Structure 1
Amino acid sequence: MKDILIVDGYNMIGDWGELKQLKDKHQLIDARDRLIELLAEYQAYSQYKIIVVFDAYQVPGVATKEKQHDVEIIYTRVKETADECIEALTMDKIQKYGRLTRITVATSDMAEQSVIFGNGALRMPASELFTAVRESQRQITQTVNKDYARQRKFSNRVQLDAETQSKLENMRRGLK
């Protein structure tokens, strides 16, 4: 089983500059979507199984789960905070997988960090996850650029010495 990273979604949105700007412009849905995109890329790079929890404490309705870009997304039920959901989810995953799977919770909420750490999970502040996501983007870009350069270097052209090139060019032009 992959290591699991449980992310307090609105905590990241409130902490990461780009996402905070979207939220402040009343584009909370766009901020959520962008967070999920960033975490999907990070999941592919890091090999974490990522679960994002969004607080629906003041929104009527039932809890829902969905997947976007292979990231599991949980919206809490009415009158349930993201912290409560994360605590229950952490305990469930620890009981299910034991110590064979590392469970990490990304949140900057100090009280929440204490509770999940006491339950046996690792903690990661929002700033640390932001740094890890940005580093993974840098590594992905570097790998893509390196692969592109390698493909250009080893194109389908055959490398020939100058004399052979000259002979072939003369043959092409019908010269002796």
Structure 2
Amino acid sequence: MRRNVKSYLIIDGYNIINAWDELKDIAQTSLESAREKLIDIIIEYAEFTGRKAIIVFDAYNVKHSRETVEDRKYITVVYTREHQTADSYIEKFISTLSRYDDIKVATNDYAEQQIILGKGATRISARELKLDLDKAKSNIREKNSSNQKKIQRNWLEERLDKETLSKLENIRRMH
């Protein structure tokens, strides 16, 4: 029996922000800006890798906060409810997934790492996540530069009529 295996990258948002110097610096002036920067980075990564990314920000000390889930392009951003840590949300979420799914959780929290491993997920540190992202970015640049070379040599739009071009554009947008 063939199973439909899904790939997930679940990120403890504040843990990663505090682990990466670039984001930590931004967070000192604006936590919102640091969150958005992390979200942008992960969107690009998820788009390129095809992994479903979930970034969890805890609202543990935020009075009267309710759980909020934002579906964005290629990722889901979760803000936990008051008194709920990102760790507890991640543990609960992992329990809802199939044991056949490929699940990576990015956190530097040692206790969380042990629980993640016990639930069958793979743990990656903030440093490993950064390396994965840098590698993906490098691959994106390579892919884009090779696409640029192709585009410079071969302008399809110069050889097709407007109606065909319009149909191709509509097909491209659907995917």
The answer to whether the 8 A contact 2:11-2:107 is kept is yes
Structure 1, unpaired ranges of 5+: 158-176
Counterpart in the other structure of 2:105: 105
Structure 1 residue 126 displacement after superposition: 0.7
Which of 41, 46, 61 is matched with 2:44 structurally?
41
Q: Distance in 1 between matches of 2:23 and 2:84?
A: 23
Instruction: Look at both structures and tell me which one has the larger radius of gyration over its CA atoms.
Output: 1
Structure 1 residue 15 displacement after superposition: 1.2
Counterpart in the other structure of 1:51: 54
Which of 4, 8, 28 is matched with 2:8 structurally?
4
Q: Deviations over 1:15-55 (max 9, x none)?
A: 12221110122x11011011111101100111110111001
Which letter maps to 2:102?
R
After superposing on structure 2, the runs of 4+ consecutive aligned residues of structure 1 that deviate more than 6 Å are none
Structure 1 residue 5 displacement after superposition: 1.1
For these two proteins, the number of residue pairs brought into alignment is 152
Q: Deviations over 1:40-90 (max 9, x none)?
A: 110011111011100100012111111223310111110111111111111
Identity %: 36
The answer to whether the 8 A contact 1:63-1:74 is kept is yes
Q: TM-score, normalised on structure 1?
A: 0.81
The answer to whether the 8 A contact 1:62-1:78 is kept is yes
Which letter maps to 2:99?
G
Which letter maps to 1:19?
L
Structure 1 residue 115 displacement after superposition: 0.9
The answer to whether the 8 A contact 1:57-1:81 is kept is yes
Structure 1 residue 155 displacement after superposition: 4.8
Matched, 1:131 2:95: no
The answer to whether the 8 A contact 1:19-1:34 is kept is yes
Matched, 1:24 2:22: no
Q: Distance in 2 between matches of 1:154 and 1:102?
A: 39
Which letter maps to 2:61?
Q
Q: Distance in 2 between matches of 1:70 and 1:3?
A: 12
Q: Distance in 1 between matches of 2:71 and 2:31?
A: 18
Which letter maps to 2:135?
E
Q: TM-score, normalised on structure 2?
A: 0.82
RMSD of equivalent CA atoms? 1.5
The answer to whether the 8 A contact 2:104-2:124 is kept is yes
Structure 2, unpaired ranges of 5+: 159-175
Structure 1 residue 142 displacement after superposition: 1.2
Structure 2 counterparts to residues 113-128 of structure 1, below 5 A: 113-128=113-128
Structure 2 counterparts to residues 133-172 of structure 1, below 5 A: 133-155=133-155
Q: Distance in 1 between matches of 2:40 and 2:143?
A: 19
Counterpart in the other structure of 1:88: 92
